[in-house]
Structure 1
Amino acid sequence: MTADAQDREDVQFWFDPLCPWAWITSRWMHEVEKVRPVRTEWKIMSLAYLNLVQHEGKGLNEEYLERMARAWGPVRICAAAAADAGPGILGPLYTAIGTRFHNQGRREDPAVLTEALQEAGLPEWLVDAAETDEFDEAIKKSHHEAFDQVGLDVGTPVLRIRGKALFGPVITPAPKGEAAGELWDGLVLVSKADGFFELKRSRDRAPSFE
C-alpha cells in the first residue's frame, strides 16, 4: 500500500522535545506518512507542566525534578515559534531539536536550540523565550487539549486518531517501510474499539535512535 497525496487523514501528535520515546514515535510517524494516507499535525505538551504542576512533583527524585525544571525551555521555544511562524513550523523545528537532543546526544549543549532555530529558518531571538513564561498559557492550552482526553496517568507521545486520544505507541527502534504501516493499521484498529484503554508490557531495552 502506498500513500496517496490526496485525501490524507489528519492525525494529531503531542510531543515534548525532551522525551526520547516520543522522538522515536515521531520518526515512526514520518515513516507512516510514506506508506499510508496520513498527515501528522504536530502539537506541544509539557512534561514540566505535567510533572511539576499537575502531579505537584510527587514521587520524583531531586535529579528528575531538576530535569523537569529545565524542560520548560525547549517547549517554550516551540510555542514561541508557533506564535511567530504558525503551527506548521512545529514539525521542522521538532526534527531540528530532536535530532540534536537524541540522535546526537546533545541534550545538555546550550547551542542546540539556537542551531535548531537556524535550521528551521526561524529568527534566533526566539531562543530567549526559553527563559520567560510569556507562552506558558499557549503551552497549557495545547497540553490540556490532549490530556483532558487521555488522562494524567500517561506521558508523551499522545496521538489523536479520528477524535480519540491515546498514549503511545512506545516502541524502539522506529519501524520503517511497510512495518511502520502495519503498526499504524493495528493502532487504528484498536482505537476503534469502544472502551479500549491499554496494551502494555515492561520495557526491556533503552531507546534506540537508529
Structure 2
Amino acid sequence: MSEKTPVDFWFDPLCPWAWMTSRWVLEVEKLRDIEVRWHVMSLAVLNEDKLDDLPENYREMLSTTAWAPVRVVVAAQQKHGDEVVGKLYTALGTRFHNEGQGATREAIAAALDDVGLPAGLIDYADQDPFEFDAELRASHKEGIDKVGQEVGTPVIAVPGSDGEQIAFFGPVVTPAPKGEEAAKLWDGTLMVASIPGFYEIKRTRTQGPIFD
C-alpha cells in the first residue's frame, strides 16, 4: 500500500478565507490519497511591520484579537503534540465562523472543551510575553518562506515530482467545494502550481465567505 501524500497547511484561526480553504482540503482528503498536516501562521506576525499602512480597524484587530487564538493553538501543540492542532482548529473555526461567535475568549475556552484539552490553556491567550513565541514565529516563518511576503493565510505545500515542495497561497474559494468539485479544484490547483514560472490567477471577489 502506498503512503499518503503529505499536505502541509498553514493557517491563522482568525481568517475566514483560510477556514473555507481548510474545509475544502478536508473534503479532498476523503477523495484523494493525501494526509493534511496542520501548522500555525499568524496574521499578526505577518503584518507587524506594516501596521502604519493598514486601516485603523484592521490594525486594532491585529494588535489585540489576532494573538489569542494562535497562541492557544501553539501552546496546545507544544504541550499535547501535533495531533491536537487540526482538531482544535476545527473546533475554533466552527465557533468563530460557522456559529458566528467570533474570536472571543469564551469561544476559545469552549473550543478547548470541545476537543478535551485542558481549560488552563486559555491562559496563554493573553500571555505576554508568550512562552512559546519562538515556536509560533518559527512555524509562521516556515510557511511564509515557501511563498514569499506578498501573501497571507492559508499556505499549502505539497511534494513536487522532483522531491522539492510546491507551495502556494490559497486557493480563495467560497463556499468550500464538495465531492467531485473539490477533487477537480485540487487537481487543477496542483497542475498550475507545478508549472515553473507560474505565479498567479486572480479575479475580484464578489461575495464574502459562505459557511455551510
Q: TM-score range by the shorter chain?
A: over 0.9
Match of 1:153 in 2: 150
Is 1:93 the counterpart of 2:95? The answer is no
Is 1:185 the counterpart of 2:180? The answer is no
Match of 2:41 in 1: 45
Structure 1 position 192, deviation (Å): 1.4
Change (3 A) 1:195 1:47: same
Match of 1:141 in 2: 138
Match of 1:195 in 2: 197
Q: Return the alpha-carbon distance in structure 2 between the equivalents of residues 161 and 197 of structure 1.
A: 16
Is 1:56 the counterpart of 2:58? The answer is no
Structure 1 stretches of 4+ moved >4 Å: none
Match of 1:76 in 2: 71
Amino acid paired to 2:191: L
Match of 1:128 in 2: 123
- When normalised by structure 1's length, the TM-score is 0.94
Structure 1 position 108, deviation (Å): 5.0
Is 2:146–2:167's contact at 8 Å kept on the other side of the alignment?
yes
Match of 2:169 in 1: 167
Is 1:102 the counterpart of 2:124? The answer is no
Structure 1 position 6, deviation (Å): 5.2
Change (3 A) 1:191 1:75: same
Give CA-to-partner distance per residue, 1:98-129, whole Å, 9 cap, x none: 00000011115431111111111110100101
Q: Return the alpha-carbon distance in structure 2 between the equivalents of residues 165 and 209 of structure 1.
A: 25
Structure 1 position 171, deviation (Å): 0.2
Match of 1:29 in 2: 25
User: What runs of 5+ residues in structure 2 fail to find an aligned partner?
Assistant: 160-164
Match of 2:59 in 1: 65
Q: Return the alpha-carbon distance in structure 1 between the equivalents of residues 2 and 78 of structure 2.
A: 28
Identity %: 49
Give CA-to-partner distance per residue, 1:59-82, whole Å, 9 cap, x none: 212211111112001000000000
Could you say what secondary structure the match of 1:26 adopts?
helix
Change (3 A) 1:6 1:126: farther
Considering only aligned residues, what root-mean-square deviation do their CA atoms show, in Å?
Answer: 1.2
Q: Return the alpha-carbon distance in structure 2 between the equivalents of residues 58 and 143 of structure 1.
A: 21
Amino acid paired to 2:44: A
- When normalised by structure 2's length, the TM-score is 0.93
Is 1:161–1:191's contact at 8 Å kept on the other side of the alignment?
no
Match of 2:209 in 1: 207
State the number of aligned residues.
204
Is 1:100–1:112's contact at 8 Å kept on the other side of the alignment?
yes
Could you say what secondary structure the match of 1:186 adopts?
helix
Q: Return the alpha-carbon distance in structure 2 between the equivalents of residues 58 and 197 of structure 1.
A: 28
